């Protein structure tokens, strides 16, 4: 995981930059000068690294020359070898060097090149604008999502080569190899003590692109999120399955984080989280919290979940229920006496249950619903809607308590009856989405038309 610090962002930042570099070495015996052209790996204002089939002793000083992309100027400098690393290829070495002598104008040219392709400038912009997401797209300027709306920045457009250089500059060799094999990559980056970014890399039309989600690493409380008190009750349960559902970007991970932090403050238990990637990092208080990242600490949610049952947990947190094996094991764990908190993509409560069962073959639907009815304790379905003043977004949620009536509905696959049960279930601490949004309307912090739109969007799926 890459971590930036305020004092070293510009000085230490290196840009992935495969360009030809010619270097000269003097033969100590006959004093002849030998030139060789190789490919650089990355560059900073402090030095450059490149790969060569020669082993050059540490502290050796060599002359180099190269041109930065889209420039006619040939930069000439003397560098000192500060690192020699073997690579995965036999007889090929990566040399890390620092500039010993270089003209100020050339160093300034390198600085401008890095400034253009420096990821930290984009991350600073995202934080400054209080954006939730940053999109790096080919033939587009950087795009921000601010309070739910997509906004273009005034940056120049990035070429495919520039997007790749920006992203590859912060990836390890292993991550680059994995991306080039899988065409997908998720990872987290800690920007500073407060802010963390979740990266998703992918290809579109053959080009590499990226979506970054900004995460405030200060773990919010239930009160910060204005979650109903019953969500705290869910976190205090001893066993069973709790589903946190909603569309992408609806704050499911943040809600789960608040639940974990409540557990951490109140209970002496072992919590195992399975995440892709890790977003919030917990400081242990009363609980022992083991955080495992899919793709780094384990290969899949299903494998990690099965393994976690042998790691003495009280509570298991699943960042995403994304396949049959993970869902099946989650229900088994909930039935076996563990508390399982899991995130699941679905637009509303009814669709969550329907899609949950729909992950399995149709002939298994009845048995899956029966098993779900036995182990499910509650569902939190949530959305984010913009405040009237456009300063932030507000969390609205629907709450289902799985009482006997709800169990019967699930077991008998009569999901169309669920909205009525939720609407009349206030005595069980249930809450329909419309009631949650109405509270914001009563406070006059949500536009009525916006509120009406979100209620209709939430209700329209399958109701």
State the Cα–Cα distance between residues 132 and 119, nearest whole angstrom: 16
Domain 117-216 has CATH 3.30.450.90: yes
Assess contact for 446 and 147: CB atoms under 8 A.
Answer: no
Q: What is the pLDDT at residue 28?
A: 67
pTM of the prediction? 0.74
Q: What is the pLDDT at residue 33?
A: 80
Residues counted in the chain: 463
- Domain assignments of the chain as residue spans, ordered by start: 9-110, 117-216, 229-460
Predicted confidence pLDDT, tens digits, the chain (463 residues): 444 444 344 345 778 888 999 998 877 677 778 899 999 988 999 999 999 988 889 999 999 999 998 788 999 999 999 999 888 777 888 999 999 999 999 999 999 888 888 888 899 999 999 899 999 999 999 999 998 889 999 999 999 999 999 999 888 888 999 999 999 999 888 888 888 899 999 999 999 999 999 987 789 999 999 999 999 999 999 999 999 999 988 999 999 999 999 999 999 999 999 998 888 889 999 999 999 998 889 989 999 999 999 999 999 999 999 899 999 999 999 999 999 999 999 999 999 999 999 999 999 999 999 999 999 999 999 999 999 988 889 999 999 999 999 999 999 999 999 999 999 999 999 999 999 999 999 999 999 999 999 888 887 754 4
Q: What is the pLDDT at residue 461?
A: 55
Crossing angle of helices 433-442 and 448-460, in 10° steps, is 180
Crossing angle of helices 365-375 and 324-335, in 10° steps, is 40
What proportions of the chain, in percent to the nearest 5, are helix, strand and coil?
Answer: 35, 30, 35
User: CA-based Rg of the chain, rounded to a whole angstrom?
Assistant: 27
Assess contact for 262 and 235: CB atoms under 8 A.
Answer: yes
Q: What is the pLDDT at residue 12?
A: 53
Q: What is the pLDDT at residue 30?
A: 72
Residues 6+ apart with CB under 8 A from 153: 125, 141, 142, 143, 144
Q: What is the pLDDT at residue 376?
A: 98
**15: phi then psi, degrees, rounded to nearest 5:** -105, 130
State the Cα–Cα distance between residues 72 and 76, nearest whole angstrom: 13
**211: phi then psi, degrees, rounded to nearest 5:** -120, 130
- Architecture field, domain 229-460: 3-Layer(aba) Sandwich (3.40)
**CATH code, 9-110:** 2.40.10.220
Which value, to the nearest 10 degrees, does the dihedral of the CA atoms of residues 412, 416, 420, 423 take?
110
DSSP 8-state code for residue 238: S
């Amino acid at each position: 995981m890459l971590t930036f610090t305020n004092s070293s962002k510009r000085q230490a930042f290196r840009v992935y930059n495969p360009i030809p570099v010619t270097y000269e070495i003097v033969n100590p015996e006959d004093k002849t000068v030998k030139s060789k052209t190789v490919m650089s790996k990355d560059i900073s204002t402090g030095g450059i690294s490149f790969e060569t089939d020669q082993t050059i002793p540490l502290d050796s000083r060599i002359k180099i020359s190269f041109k930065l992309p889209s420039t006619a100027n040939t930069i000439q400098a003397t560098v000192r070898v500060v690192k020699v690393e073997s690579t995965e290829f036999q007889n090929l070495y990566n040399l890390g060097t620092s500039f010993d002598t270089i003209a100020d104008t050339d160093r300034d040219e390198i600085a401008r090149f890095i400034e253009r392709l420096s990821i930290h400038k984009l991350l600073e912009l995202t934080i400054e604008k209080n954006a939730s997401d940053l999109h790096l797209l080919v033939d587009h300027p950087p795009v921000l999502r601010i309070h739910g709306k997509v906004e273009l920045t005034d940056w120049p457009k990035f070429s495919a080569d520039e997007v790749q250089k920006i992203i590859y500059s912060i990836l390890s060799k292993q991550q680059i190899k994995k991306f080039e094999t899988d065409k997908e990559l998720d990872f987290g980056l800690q920007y500073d003590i407060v802010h963390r970014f979740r990266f998703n890399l992918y290809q579109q039309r053959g080009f590499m692109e990226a979506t970054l989600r900004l995460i405030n690493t200060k773990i919010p409380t239930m009160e910060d999120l204005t979650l109903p008190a019953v969500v705290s009750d869910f976190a205090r349960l001893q066993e069973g399955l709790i589903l946190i559902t909603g569309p992408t970007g609806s704050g499911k991970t943040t809600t789960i984080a608040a639940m974990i932090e409540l557990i951490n403050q109140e209970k002496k238990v072992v919590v195992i989280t399975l995440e892709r990637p890790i977003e919030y990092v917990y400081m242990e208080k009363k609980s022992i919290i083991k955080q495992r990242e899919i793709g780094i600490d384990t290969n899949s949610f299903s494998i990690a979940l099965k393994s976690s049952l042998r790691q003495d947990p009280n509570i298991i947190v699943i960042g995403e229920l994304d396949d049959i094996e993970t869902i099946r094991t989650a229900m088994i764990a909930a039935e076996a006496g563990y508390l399982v908190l899991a995130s699941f993509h679905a637009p509303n409560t009814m669709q969550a249950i329907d899609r949950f069962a729909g992950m399995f073959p149709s002939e298994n639907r009845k048995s899956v619903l029966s098993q779900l009815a036995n182990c499910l304790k509650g569902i939190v379905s949530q959305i984010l809607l913009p405040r009237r003043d456009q300063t932030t977004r507000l969390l609205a949620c629907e709450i289902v308590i799985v009482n006997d009536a709800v169990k019967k509905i699930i077991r008998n696959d009569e999901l169309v009856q669920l909205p009525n049960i939720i609407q009349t279930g206030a005595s069980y601490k249930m809450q329909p989405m419309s009631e949650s949004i109405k509270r914001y309307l009563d406070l006059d912090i949500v536009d009525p038309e916006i509120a009406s739109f979100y209620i209709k969007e939430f209700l329209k799926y399958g109701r």
